Amino acid sequence: MIRALALAAILVAPASAYASHTCGGGGGGGSSGSSSSSSSSSSNSGSSWSHTPTSSGTSGSTECVEDNDVVGYRQCTKFGAWGTNLRLPRLFIELGTNVRQFGSRLGSHAGTVSHGAESFSYRMVMPETGGLDTAVTSAMRLGIGLPHGLYAGAEAELGGISAQGGTVEMQAPGAFGTPQLDASTGMYIGLLGIAGLRGTAGRATFGLEAAGGVRTERYRFASTYHNCETTSVIGVSEAVVEARARAELWLNPWITAGVSLGTSVVERNDWLAGAYFGFHTRAFAGGR
């Protein structure tokens, strides 16, 4: 019995001494170890605050240094702060391209071209089914979002007429025959106001809009006659009223990619199709 008690005392004694040392009890050495352990624990915890000492050695100004970019673990910015700047207006700008087809307005037009002292008259001839012109344009839109999913803005288009639906007929020959008159290039210019309504479904946005304004087509004809070359230009302007449907996908909170399809509400065979990228000052156009 005595030997068993002595053996138990020997086993218990070292454990008690070790426990007393790790708890930092008594003496300056234990206190220093506790401070070092606490400092190490604080360093490993991923704290995002650092203190800049002043020249006197005391703690000076405190600045926030972000050390974690995981959403929910950031310390310097509030959750969702990237999309909650309500001081910015809901502006957007869109850049894209359109393909337009419309009835040619040259059917009732006539013109003249001069070569030296001679002047020649010509007129446009359209097919029986009506000539169609095709234009490819670059488009830019600038607008602002309004409450309840509404928006308004302005649109500008500039491009070229790639195909013309009519042909040129010379009226009378000259001293050296008839000039060769060919449609070389054409320019399309459009200025429109827009207003619409859009709604969001997941990452997609769908909208309906109306557009109205004016467009101008300028047709340039190259004329060649007896080693002489010159040009003639016919300009046509007209009103535009269109209805459009649009669909776009949010690539990130500020950028969209979309397509549009529209038709004239006053003219037959007048339609457009386009694609664009949109850039917004407010995350998800302020609609979420």
C-alpha span between 148 and 6 (Å, rounded): 87
For the chain, give every domain's residue range: 1-45, 47-79, 91-286
Cα torsion 90, 264, 188, 237: sign = negative
Q: What is the pLDDT of residue 63?
A: 65
**Closest to 50 in 3D by CA, of 58, 59, 41:** 59
Least confident window among 38-42, 70-74, 79-83: 38-42
- At position 77, the amino acid (one-letter code) is T
> For the whole prediction, is pTM greater than 0.95?
no
Q: Which residues of 241-277 are buried (b: 16+ CB within 10 A; e: fewer)?
A: ebebebebebeeebebebebebebeeeeebbbebebe
Q: Identify which of 227, 234, 226 has the alpha carbon closest to the alpha carbon of residue 122.
A: 234
For residues 79 and 260, the answer to whether their CB atoms sit within 8 Å is: no
The answer to whether the beta carbons of residues 258 and 244 sit under 8 Å apart is no
Q: What are 181-210's pLDDT values in tens digits?
A: 777 678 999 999 999 999 988 899 999 999
pLDDT in tens, 219-253: 887 788 777 777 778 888 999 999 999 999 999 99
Q: What percent of the chain has pLDDT over 90?
A: 37
> Which fold, 91-286?
Porin (2.40.160)
Can you tell me the distance from the alpha carbon of 165 to that of 105, in angstroms, rounded to the nearest whole number?
9
Half-sphere exposure of 274 (CA within 13 A, CB side): 26
